[in-house]
Amino acid sequence: MATTRSLWRSGRKLGLLATSLGIGAAVGTIATSDDPQTTLKIFTNVPLRLVRDSLTAATIALDYEYSLWGLVEGSVEREKVKRQVHTRCATRLQDLCFRNGGIYIKLGQHIAQLEYLVPAEYVHTMRATMLNKCPVSSYEQVCQVFKKELGLKPDEIFLEFDPVPLASASLAQVHAARTRYGDKVAVKVQHTHMTDTAAADYATVEFIVNTLHRLFPSFDYRWLIDEMRESLPKASMPNDIKFSMLFIYLTISGYLGSCFSALFELDFLVEAKNSEKCLENFRRLSPHLSDYVYAPRVYWNLSTSKLLTMEFIDAAEITDVKKIQRLGIQPREVAKLVTKAFAEMTFKHGFVHCDPHAANMLVRPLPDGKRSIIGKRKPQLILLDHGLYKELDFPTRINYAALWKALVFADANAIKQNSMKLGAGEDLYALFAGILTMRPWNRVIDPAADHLVIKGNDSDRSELQMYASQYFPQISELLRRLPRVILLMLKTNDCLRAVTNCLLQGSSVETFLITGRISSEAVIEAKMSQKKSFLSGFSIWLEGIVLEVRLFSMQIALWLLSFTKLLSG
């Protein structure tokens, strides 16, 4: 209670200080700005969004503090009340995300992926709305974008254009249309308010991070501001508009939620180039998968930085298990394909789609009609929304691959060595392994074939939340040390884990074996590219043979494990 009162008093002081300093700064900046109207919008948005954020955070904190006060820890009554508070606060957080819009929607989408860290009430609330019920721009606003970008209205460009969007996301919405040549296309239109809110969000995050560090010196995330500034030149915006990268470090009811930073590219031409580069990487570096991974074809003559016209693809959403089954595809095969595709991108291409949540991936039968041995249709993965990619330099990519190889094979020494190479240090390598796998250290180094599998029961979930809460300061320090690109890899892992868990109704040894194989292949290929003699090349070749034997042994163990479960069930 004393802590709550202290935070409340600190919040009041912050508010008064922010108001007095902010007014003077705003007047001066607006007067000297190249674009006074836009700058005025920014200075109007920043205080409003800051007040919303502060009030929501304070309300959530007070609700937990007072609702659980006096209830015995671990009692049935406390657990019942806690679930009720979770539900109320999840709704409050959802409302905040929708009211602020933009990258706050990304926050909600990320929380929806954290089912093993975040209380179920938050996951269910965000998952039900954030992936497919984002704010929508009016048709008049869409026409404004078209007039500004192409000089004509949609109905003057397309043979048909549906004014009602098929879907709306945090940055843009998608409309179905038909070109003058009769091609059915999907047209992605950027929300008109995005640049203003992005700048406001940047300013709000910068203020909050710096202020929290002054009040609580151990809470030092000022490096995030530097990382944001480094990303600013990539944005195509007016001089007074700053590009935004979101950092959310969410703590609710005694658990650490998630830290993630994401660079949201507002130039759709960059997104289009990313999609083409992604497919080219598969054709060049992973030809065995090139037919199985696809991105919609871009209509460059009908695309600009704020409009993106693409091939329309009719397919099932990645988590729509029933529709996938109706298409004659096994969800298990889809999970394997997703794991293979992203493992290849991460460990071999070094060019990674970093926003693979459920709304950004579709599935359809492989167009050539190929079927599996048992007659099921083979899946093709359709990747959407290529705005957020990250490149891994060679040392980081290989060290990260070597780390995942060690995790899959429960090699404690290699886990330590490669975690240290990525910045975790001698003191936090075990914690880093736990964050990557969502498993405690004793399970990470367990030699059992299924040592990384999360069973998905309440016991597993409670254990993970307990560890997250217990190691709050250490996790903060670890996230400060890790390379920025690895922070995005953590967020990507969360998204992929949520998708595969939905497809398989839990995690799977098989997906970990796929990760182990591809990460190991990447390490061996890197060694081969740097071999200095025939003898060293022969040694690396033998290492590859040993790897195949180990993987085969783990596969045998997996089959035996599945057979045993079948007999016992």
Which active-site residues does the annotation give? 355
Q: Which two tokens stand for residue 209?
A: 């991070």
Residue pointed to by tokens 């990304």: 106
CA distance 400 to 347: 8
Residue 134 in contact with residue 170, Cβ under 8 Å? Answer: yes
> Which residue in 404, 293, 300 sits closest to 353, CA to CA?
293
Q: What DSSP string describes 330-374?
A: -HHHHHHHHHHHHHHIIIII-EEE----GGGEEEEE-TT--B-TT
Please name the helix (run of DSSP H) or strand (run of DSSP E) that holds residue 29, with its range, or none: helix 2-32
Alpha-carbon distance values, 204 to 45, 76, 248, 508 (Å): 9, 40, 12, 40
> Which residue in 501, 389, 479, 378 sits closest to 435, CA to CA?
479
Q: Please report the sign of the dihedral spanned by the C-alpha atoms of residue 350, residue 351, residue 357, residue 360.
A: negative
CA distance 415 to 395: 16
CA distance 452 to 237: 44
* Residue 49 CA neighbour count, 13 Å, CB half: 27
Other residues' Cβ atoms within 10 Å of the Cβ of residue 134: 24
DSSP helix/strand/coil, 247: strand
CA distance 388 to 17: 36
Q: Which two tokens stand for residue 547?
A: 């790897």
DSSP 390: E
Residue type, 242: K
